[in-house]
Amino acid sequence: MNNDRPAAVVPIELPAAAAALSGGALLPTPAHAQAHFQSQGNVAVNDYIERVVELLKAFETRDSRPLSFIDPAKYIQHNLRLDNGVKALADRIEAIPKGSAKVNTLRAFRDGNYVFTHSEYDFGDPMVGFDIFRFENGLIVEHWDNLQKAASKPSHSMVDGPRIASDLDQTDANKALLKSYMDEIFVQKRRERFASYFDGNNYIQHNPLILEDGLTGLLAGLQALAKQGLTVEYDGVHMILGEGDFVLVVNEGKFGGKPTAIYDLYRVANAKIAEHWDTLEAIPPHDAWKNDNGKF
């Protein structure tokens, strides 16, 4: 993934005057977007993160303004429970009863034109999720996500731990490390190489199904799951995004034999894997999809 960070791009705040959709949500048209681009100055691409966080918060606030950060002519939705396009997203936000939803984005990072976040959601059932947004010309044009029911264990929750990226000059090296790790350990199944990616037994685990920290805890946890018929299988990596010591790996695989999207967030320290968060979401059969864009 391109990790270049240009100094400035066209603006992404759009005027409120736009086409009205059902439920009163206002959405920008391409003409409004272009006119605004021509009339405003540049903004830093780091503002992408603020706009993504505001858009996610809209599920709680029911504010339609963040929908103007999306390009309605290009928007591609990979959440298979939603129809494609901005109108489906607007309708989903509008349908949430006022005061019933909570969104708490704990981590947000940028890799070039991609922003990826780690959030707590509560729409009546607490969830933990990762979201990925791709930008073009200052507007969101594509979205992926992966959610799992929230759970915890005595030592860690699914979301606690460091939140701010460091070692920004190591982004590319850390992404390469995780690419190699996923390929060697989970695709080639070279389990003899496991230990080389860790600093001894110094490893913090946030997966609620793996009870102990450390490499020994990881191996024991995977074996325990396999004995229950819950083998974790990785078929391939679709995306690797990173900022500094945080790297998100988007995988397609199986959990307990069922097609599953596996999002793994890693923190790297001194070129070794130091901490891990994840979500596993079952991929529904194709006839249940609301759009044909696919999970990945």
Distance CA 151, CA 163 (A): 19
Contact assessment for residue 31 and residue 83, using Cβ atoms and an 8 Å cutoff: no
Distance CA 151, CA 171 (A): 30
Find all residues with CB under 8 Å of 83, minimum gap 6, and list them.
Answer: 77, 290, 291
**Tens digit of each residue's pLDDT (9 = 90 or more) over 119-131:** 999 999 999 999 9
**Tens digit of each residue's pLDDT (9 = 90 or more) over 169-216:** 999 999 999 999 999 998 898 989 999 999 999 999 999 999 999 999
> What is the CATH code for 19-150?
3.10.450.50
Residue 250 φ/ψ region, left for φ over 0, alpha for ψ in the -120 to 50 degree band, beta for the rest: beta
* pLDDT bracket for residue 18 (50, 70, 90): very low
Instruction: Single out the residue of 216, 219, 206 nearest to residue 155, CA to CA.
Output: 206
pLDDT higher at 1 or 66: 66
What's the rounded mean pLDDT across residues 41-70? 87
Paired strand residues for 50: none
How much helix, strand and coil, in percent to the nearest 5, is found in the chain?
A: 30, 35, 35
Say what the pTM is.
Answer: 0.85
pLDDT (0 to 100) of residue 2? 42
pLDDT (0 to 100) of residue 209? 95
Report the share of the chain in percent with pLDDT over 70: 85
**Tens digit of each residue's pLDDT (9 = 90 or more) over 237-287:** 999 999 999 999 999 999 999 999 999 999 999 999 999 999 999 999 999
Report the share of the chain in percent with pLDDT over 90: 81
Q: How many CB atoms lie within 10 A of CB 220?
A: 14
pLDDT (0 to 100) of residue 15? 32
Q: Which two tokens stand for residue 118?
A: 């780690």
Residue 127 is given by DSSP the state E
CATH architecture type of domain 168-286:
Roll (3.10)
**Tens digit of each residue's pLDDT (9 = 90 or more) over 218-242:** 999 999 999 999 999 999 999 999 9
pLDDT (0 to 100) of residue 44? 57
Q: How many CB atoms lie within 10 A of CB 28?
A: 24
Residue bearing tokens 């681009």: 37
**Tens digit of each residue's pLDDT (9 = 90 or more) over 61-82:** 999 999 999 999 999 999 999 9
What's the rounded mean pLDDT across residues 111-138? 96
Q: Where are the domains of the chain?
A: 19-150, 168-286
Distance CA 237, CA 245 (A): 19
